[in-house]
Amino acid sequence: MAGRNGRTVRDLRRANRTAVLQRLYFDGPLSRFELGPATGLSSGSISNVVADLVADGLVEEAGSVDSDGGRPRTLLRVAPGSGHMIGVDVGETRVRVELFDLALTELARAERPLTPQRYDVDVITGHIRDGIAEVLAAAGPAPERLLGVGIGVPGIIEHTPDRGAVVHGQTIGWDAVPLEALLRTGSQLPDSVPYFIENGAKTLGQAEMWFGAGRGAGNAVVVLFGSGVGACLVTPEVERGRAVEWGHLTVRVRGRRCRCGALGCLEAYAGAESLLARWREEGGRPPRDTDEETALTAMLAAAYPPEGTDADPVALAVLEETAEYLGAGLSDLINLFQPERILIGGWAGLQLGSRFLPSVRRHATAYALRHPAQRVTIDLGRLGPDAVTVGAAILPLADFFTRGGRRAESDRQDRLPAWQTALEERRA
């Protein structure tokens, strides 16, 4: 029966389970006594919800603490082994697949290197399928115990009723690629396992906001700096983040051609791919036949050699110019969104950040309006190179919490989206 606000008893129970699970997950272990004020639920509701979650195997005891004059209070936590998630990072240099338990402890990983500037759809989908099979075989959980597979990819993601998640990746040559449907075809996973496909900058932002340098901020921008650059905006209105194509903001009229085809994009100056190309064009000597990460390491070593050794003036000049372009790009984010924090992640951002972050901060402040610039902090992300896969794994975890810790419905056809139902009908 629905109440006056349209909520049913089932909706209320799901919301109560969600509240308890989230508090235990982020702030636990906690006692039943502590859960009341933390969730706003009555002691009776807490007892009922905890009993349900324990019966479902989602919550377990985690020791006890002394109380004021009474019996010790039992502490509770979310049971790490009660669910598993897979996170996938379709990056510029490799496809990385990681299996996590519910506490986001890594259980297994698989990596597949990518040929530079080659994003063949069949190759990528094959790497994802093979990586999923490899981590499941290594760690042993039954596929049906998966809460879902989260995938971070470059480009704009469109969620359609007829084809599932579709990727518009102009910089990698993907034009409306129905990635979700392609992964379903030939997949060894049960149809009950959902896929969650989002822009890689958004999954990076999700990870940093939940567990990294963004935790506690209500308004932040998380920047993904790799071969190209992107960003994720998190505000109270967009709590789970929104990917923004920041790398294709025009920073120079009739400037360098970006890999998207346009002229003067920030990515044409600040991405690692363009940074190395500019070093080469100015007379530098990047190592040949290596991946971008190795080449960028060599560039940093040339620009910032050990004490007593002369720096490569070309490498140093290109890096300093890149810091200014990045700072100018960040100033636009500051002026537009007035965030509390800007966090820089991605493999290139983490490599370069410790060297030229002070310069980036200085340029961002110089180009931005004074008031918002005085209120923002600019720092590196804390989760390292695995942040995109962690954030991708958070996508099914967040959905699991939203449903109160319940898995998908048992009726398979009710569970399938329209595009997948049509695919099954064609198979039949």
Under DSSP, the state recorded for 346 is: S
Going by C-alpha positions, the residue among 210, 215, 208 that lies closest to residue 231 is 208
Residues in contact with 285: Cβ distance below 8 Å, sequence separation at least 6, in sequence order: none
pLDDT of the residue at 418: 53
CA separation, residue 15 to residues 27, 35, 399, 401 (Å): 18, 14, 13, 9
**Which residues of the chain are modeled with pLDDT < 50?**
1-2, 409-416, 419, 421-428
Side chain identity at residue 75, one-letter code: L
The identity of residue 347, as a single letter, is W
- Residue 140 neighbours by CB distance under 10 Å: 10
Identify the pLDDT of residue 420.
53
Torsion (CA) 181, 187, 189, 193 in degrees, nearest 10: -10
Which pLDDT belongs to residue 411?
36
Give Cα 414 distance to the centre of its chain.
29
Q: Which residue has the tokens 């506490």?
A: 103
Q: Tell me the Ramachandran region of residue 387: left when phi exceeds 0, alpha when psi lies from -120 to 50, beta otherwise.
A: alpha
Residue 61: C-alpha distances to residues 58, 145, 327 (Å): 11, 22, 49
Query: CA-CA distances (angstroms) from residue 310 to 187, 278, 300, 304?
Result: 54, 20, 13, 9
Question: In this predicted structure, what is the pLDDT of residue 417?
Answer: 54
Helix ranges (DSSP H) in 234-312: 267-270, 272-281, 292-303
27: its two tokens: 């702030």
What is the C-alpha separation between 212 and 405, in angstroms, rounded? 24
- Number of C-beta neighbours around residue 300 at 10 A: 17
| Cα separation, 33 vs 151, whole angstroms | 38
Contact 359, 323 (CB under 8 A): yes
Beta strands in 305-374 (DSSP E): 341-345
CB 394 within 8 A of CB 210: yes
pLDDT given at position 427 = 39
pLDDT at 143: 75
Can you give the C-alpha Rg of the chain in angstroms? 24
Distances (CA, A) of 309 to 199, 235, 286, 295: 42, 46, 18, 20
* CB 343 within 8 Å of CB 221: yes
Q: Model confidence over 31-77: pLDDT tens digits?
A: 888 898 888 888 889 999 999 999 988 999 888 777 666 678 889 99
Distance CA 301, CA 315 (A): 9
Backbone angles phi, psi at 21, to 5 degrees: -60, -45
DSSP 221-254: EEEEESSSEEEEEEETTEEEEEEE-GGGSB-STT
Q: 383, 44, 16: which is closest to 204 by C-alpha?
A: 383
pLDDT of 410 reads 37
> What confidence score (pLDDT) does residue 234 get?
86
Query: DSSP readout, 21-63?
Result: HHHHHHH-SEEHHHHHHHHT--HHHHHHHHHHHHHTTSEEEEE
User: 366-419 pLDDT, tens per residue?
Assistant: 999 999 999 999 999 999 888 999 999 999 999 999 999 887 543 344 444 554
